[in-house]
């Protein structure tokens, strides 16, 4: 069977995915990584899905391919998989998961931009908690 160009592109994207995705609609904040960090310039958006490799999100901001972006994800329940003291804070403040991501692609869809990003820097303990959270949520 001969594949069309679209089928080849789709299968190559699927083949590159190393981690299962969790469809999870939740709020996030994102902003270009700058020093010093200026959280006043963070945009509020929505996450569409997440995996151990990265996220797909919708924001009013366009991020250029290769840009470094800091994100803060509101993932209710992720901290219960965290080791140590942060686990205690889960009920009191809903601590977001913070990560540095690299933009893989971003395209305009209506009034927002859909952006795919890969994680490049996540605190090791946060990453372990995220892995446990995703394992639990994906298996349900």
Q: Quote the pLDDT of residue 5.
A: 43
Q: How far apart are CA 122 and CA 102, in angstroms?
A: 12
Asked if residue 106 is part of any domain, the answer here is: yes
| CA separation for the pair 60, 16 (Å, rounded) | 27
Expressed as residue numbers, the domain containing 26 is: 22-139
Length of the chain: 140
What pLDDT score was predicted for residue 87? 55
- Closest residue by Cα to residue 53 from 2, 110, 13: 13
Q: Is 51 inside any structural domain?
A: yes
Task: Supply the pTM of this predicted model.
Answer: 0.79
Flag whether 52 is in a domain: yes
Q: Is 59 in contact with 73 (CB distance < 8 Å)?
A: no
Is 11 domain-assigned? Answer: no
Establish if 132 belongs to a structural domain. yes
Give the model's pLDDT for residue 90.
53
pLDDT digits (tens, 9 = 90+) for 72-121: 998 988 888 888 655 555 544 578 999 999 999 999 999 999 999 999 99
Task: Express each pLDDT in 7-39 by its tens digit.
Answer: 434 444 444 568 899 999 999 999 998 877 666
**Residue 7 counted as domain residue:** no
Q: Is 8 exposed, middle or buried (0-12, 13-18, 19+ CB in 10 A)?
A: exposed
The answer to whether residue 39 sits within a structural domain is yes
CATH for 66: 2.40.10.220
Is residue 14 domain-resident?
Answer: no
Number of domains in the chain: 1
Least confident range of 2-6, 52-56, 67-71, 119-123: 2-6
């Amino acid at each position: 069977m001969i594949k069309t160009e679209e089928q080849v592109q789709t299968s190559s994207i699927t083949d590159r995915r190393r981690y299962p995705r969790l469809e999870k609609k939740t709020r996030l904040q994102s902003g270009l990584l700058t020093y010093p960090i200026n959280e006043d310039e963070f945009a509020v958006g929505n996450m569409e899905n997440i995996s151990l490799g990265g996220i797909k999100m919708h924001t009013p901001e366009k991020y250029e391919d290769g840009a470094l972006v800091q994100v803060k994800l509101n993932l209710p329940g992720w901290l219960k998989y965290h080791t140590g003291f942060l686990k205690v804070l889960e009920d009191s403040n809903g601590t977001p998961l913070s990560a540095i991501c690299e933009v893989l692609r971003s395209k305009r869809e209506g009034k927002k931009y859909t952006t795919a990003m890969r994680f490049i820097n996540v605190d090791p303990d946060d990453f372990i908690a995220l892995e446990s959270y995703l394992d639990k949520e994906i298996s349900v």
